[in-house]
Amino acid sequence: MEIKVSLSDGSIRRYPLGTTVEQVAESISMGLKKQAVAGKENGKLVDLNYPIQQDGLIEIVTLDSKEGLEVYRHTTAHIMAQAIKRIYGSKAVKLGIGPVIEDGFYYDMDLEKPLSPDDLGLIEKEIEKVIQENVPIVRRIVSRAEAIQIFEELEDPLKLELIRDLPEEAVITIYDQGEFLDLCRGPHLPSTGRVKAFKLLSVAGAYWRGDSKNKMLQRIYGTSFPKKSQLEEHLHVLEEAKKRDHRKLGKELELFMFSEEAPGMPFFLPKGMTIRTELENFARELQRQRDYDEVRTPLMMNNRVWEQSGHWDHYKENMYFTNVDDTKFALKPMNCPGHMLIFKNALHSYRELPIRLSEFGQVHRHEYSGALNGMMRVRTFCQDDAHLFVLPEQIEDEIGRIISLIDHVYQVLGFEYKVELSTRPEDSMGSEELWDQAEKSLANVLDKLGIDYVVNEGDGAFYGPKIDFHILDALKRSWQCGTIQLDFQMPEKFDLTYIGEDSLKHRPVVIHRALYGSIERFIGILTEHFVGAFPVWLSPVQAKVLPVSDHYLDYAFQVKKQLEQAGIRVEVDGRNEKLGYKIREAQLEKVPYMLVLGETEKNSESVAVRKRGEGDLGSVSIQAFVERIKQEIHAKELI
């Protein structure tokens, strides 16, 4: 008996019933068989040794794909679990879950022995043994009763809980790996020997199933790659990321701090506040040139506003509430409803549109304490929002203008970026027709501008589709920052109108827009991107004056005064220390310019200039230095 197999190139081939995915790959080419790690039958992931029983579409999943790498890493997680059971005893290790995550995997386990980073080397040696044995990995289907019996015999309550929570109709599968077995839906590599390069990274605590009411388990993180060179490159990036960690640099450079008195809520120190102010003023001036009007809305509003906007239905789990005079109020998680109320405050003519309202608005969103991460994930942050109230025929032109603005900001900061178009989510508001219209408008603009983009299905905001800008930092990590969202829903919710050319009321369309997104998070990204060595225009201290001895202190303060009058941020290191020490200290503070003052400089009213990353530039007059640094600041040079 034969089956008809459709391949991803559109061709159709005939095979005997029960032919495996691996055999299909081999029939196409030996190279494809070598690269194959799994397959897809009509879109569903299956193992390489899966026997095909019906006509359908078969795709070969290879190591160079995202899904292929996930199969590879998930298999590595199983190998790690097998190694740990071998070392500490099968009954002493209760297995939780071992999913793939970005750049690696983890496995949550209940172990009698508390693990430390020192134990990872021992586990890695055992993993190597399992890989060398090249143990076959075999899938088998079991009944619910069989599965329960197997894990009762293993005395593994965590797996038993997972089995009991599976839907009645679920197909339960176990993967056998030598003496080791695990409850898993797969797929997996055909054998353990297919794993070539791996590394265990860390040990942490994690509540079972993410619930603080449950037992604390031990979580072992690791990663794996098809090639050793890829693993080495990844480990190098991780080391670089440690050096660049914004939490470490933020403390060393005195930019920001955190306190137990306000978890997840950053305190900006004077130097960090300078960076924030510069970023805000940069955006503020660009917006002024583009006819935005800046506004400020209350931090807290009556709960009926959030019910009206739809945030209550879609976002209440992330909001903070309080009572004022027996009335329920909410801290704003977003700025948009306040801008709707400002637009509604006056009668508008079609001649006034587009109206562009911008705000550096502080918002509050609840995050679980375990999710907090320095400036990257906080509970309060400043969102650089703008809402543009436009005529339907103005939509595409305005979106084009915003894209140009975002592109300019990222170019000045030296960021490459990628673009995503996110479409209607499951919990969306409004009609399908309006959503289709909105998505088409965004796609039209991107297409006309010739911008490459990826469609991110179902990831739009609940009120409209969006274009997201993902910047790439110095380590090529991706961060979603800028966004443009098209909204036909909120004008309806707030009954916003303008008087049209026909003297009748019409509904405007709202475009939501952010450049930085969260300013706190953006500063965290910038800190890591520049390793704290900010460009001159952003640097909290742009020049440090270093007198070679106390004898030149008076002259140092004269220089400082002249630079300050020119608008340059400057400090004097007047300590009674050797010049070499002062230079090293200024280098650690990542100051762009050091101005050394001695007898020659005092007599000639000059400064000896040292530049970050370049060293000694020689002596110049104070005025010449002022002109040089002001030109750099004005040009926003990334120096």
Query: Which of 82, 383, 485, 542 is an active site residue?
Result: 383
Active site (annotated) includes residue 364: no
pLDDT at 356 > cutoff 50: yes
Query: Which of 332, 387, 401, 582 is an active site residue?
Result: 387
Active site (annotated) includes residue 365: yes
Say which residue the tokens 């037992």 belong to.
Answer: 215
The Cα 397–Cα 388 span in angstroms is 12
CB atoms within 10 A of CB 397: 12
DSSP string, 571-592: EE--SS--HHHHHHHHHHTT-S
Residue 373 has a pLDDT of: 83
Mean pLDDT of 34-62: 90
**Mean pLDDT over the full length of the chain:** 90
User: 639: pLDDT confidence band, cut at 50, 70 and 90?
Assistant: very low
Residue 436 has a pLDDT of: 79
Query: Which of 78, 199, 271, 365 is an active site residue?
Result: 365
- Rg of the chain in Å (alpha carbons): 30
User: 91: pLDDT confidence band, cut at 50, 70 and 90?
Assistant: confident
Sign of the CA dihedral running 480, 482, 488, 491: positive
Residue 339 has a pLDDT of: 95
Nearest to 159 by CA among 77, 95, 217, 248: 95
Residue 62, CA distances (Å) to 25, 45, 103, 433 in order: 10, 12, 17, 39
DSSP string, 506-561: E--EEEEEEEEEEHHHHHHHHHHHTTT---TTT-SSSEEEEESSGGGHHHHHHHHH
Residue 242 phi, psi dihedral angles, 5° rounding: -60, -45
Query: Which of 159, 218, 336, 468 is an active site residue?
Result: 336
Active site (annotated) includes residue 512: yes
CA dihedral 98, 99, 102, 104 (to 10 degrees): 40
Residue 424 has a pLDDT of: 79
The Cα 362–Cα 518 span in angstroms is 9
Active site (annotated) includes residue 385: yes
Nearest to 638 by CA among 541, 526, 543: 526
Nearest to 541 by CA among 516, 497, 573, 506: 573
What would the pLDDT profile of 432-443 be if each residue is shown by its tens digit? Answer: 777 777 888 888
What would the pLDDT profile of 495-512 be if each residue is shown by its tens digit? Answer: 999 999 999 999 999 999
Sign of the CA dihedral running 273, 276, 282, 285: negative
pTM: 0.79
Residue 469 phi, psi dihedral angles, 5° rounding: -110, 120
Beta strands in 281-435, from DSSP E residues, in sequence order:
293-294, 300-302, 321-324, 327-331, 355-364, 380-390, 416-422
pLDDT at 32 > cutoff 60: yes
What would the pLDDT profile of 529-542 be if each residue is shown by its tens digit? Answer: 999 999 999 999 99
Mean pLDDT of 440-449: 86
Query: Which of 74, 339, 466, 590 is an active site residue?
Result: 466
The Cα 12–Cα 5 span in angstroms is 6
User: 486: pLDDT confidence band, cut at 50, 70 and 90?
Assistant: confident
Please tell me the total number of residues recorded for the chain in this structure. 639
Query: Which of 271, 512, 560, 602 is an active site residue?
Result: 512
Percent of the chain with pLDDT over 70: 99
What would the pLDDT profile of 275-325 be if each residue is shown by its tens digit? Answer: 999 999 999 999 999 999 999 999 999 988 888 888 787 778 888 899 988
- Per the model's pLDDT, the better-predicted residue between 490 and 405 turns out to be 405
Residue 620, CA distances (Å) to 544, 569, 605 in order: 15, 19, 9
What would the pLDDT profile of 578-630 be if each residue is shown by its tens digit? Answer: 999 999 999 999 999 999 999 898 888 899 999 998 888 999 999 999 999 99
Yes or no: say if 526 and 256 are a contact pair by the CB < 8 Å rule: no
Query: Which of 385, 468, 473, 573 is an active site residue?
Result: 385
Active site (annotated) includes residue 336: yes
pLDDT at 174 > cutoff 50: yes
Mean pLDDT of 18-32: 88
The Cα 422–Cα 456 span in angstroms is 5
Would you give the end-to-end CA distance of the chain in angstroms? 70
Residue 447 phi, psi dihedral angles, 5° rounding: -65, -45
Residue 64, CA distances (Å) to 37, 38, 347, 384 in order: 10, 12, 58, 38
Active site (annotated) includes residue 184: no
Residue 497 has a pLDDT of: 95
Active site (annotated) includes residue 326: no
Preceding amide of 540 cis, omega within 30: no
What would the pLDDT profile of 225-258 be if each residue is shown by its tens digit? Answer: 999 999 999 999 888 888 888 999 999 999 999 9
pLDDT at 637 > cutoff 70: no
User: 569: pLDDT confidence band, cut at 50, 70 and 90?
Assistant: very high
Residue 638 has a pLDDT of: 58
Mean pLDDT of 334-344: 93
User: 212: pLDDT confidence band, cut at 50, 70 and 90?
Assistant: confident
Q: Indicate the helix (H) or strand (E) that contains 101.
A: strand 100-101
The amino acid occupying position 638 is L
The Cα 142–Cα 148 span in angstroms is 10
Residue 192 CA, distance from chain mean position: 32
